[in-house]
Amino acid sequence: MKLLWVSNSTWSNTGYGQQSALTLPLLREMGHDIAELPYYGYAGSKSEVNGVTIYPTAQSTWGEDAISPSAKDFGAEAVITLMDIWVLD
């Protein structure tokens, strides 16, 4: 399954970043194709790191304006958000 993961970057030293760093390799081992949309710890353009597509946020602090376009571009079958849900519109 193609999954878009929305949280802090896996290399950020935050609680969400640490959970992402632990969880994403397990999801990949299970055979899922993963892309990340880190709303914290990454800025710039779409890139690839170790075979994982990384999407940048757009204008929103929490990345909600980039979730749908990123999921569509990646062809995600599901979006998983690891964040405080109250920040999303």
| CATH at residue 42 | 3.40.50.11930
Domain count, the chain: 1
Report which of 66, 73, 72 is spatially closest to residue 81, judged by C-alpha positions: 66
Q: Which structural domain, as residue segments, surrounds residue 41?
A: 2-87
Residue 85 has pLDDT above 90, yes or no: no
Residue 84 has pLDDT above 90, yes or no: no
Q: What is the pLDDT of residue 34?
A: 96
Mean pLDDT of all residues in 39-61: 86
pLDDT tens track for 16-49: 999 999 999 999 999 999 999 998 878 888 999 8
Residue 75: pLDDT band by 50, 70, 90 thresholds?
A: very high
Give strand pairing partners of 40. Answer: 8
Rounded to the nearest integer, the mean pLDDT of the chain is: 91
| Burial tier of 57 (Cβ tally within 10 Å: 0-12, 13-18, 19+) | buried
Tokens 């760093």 -> residue: 21
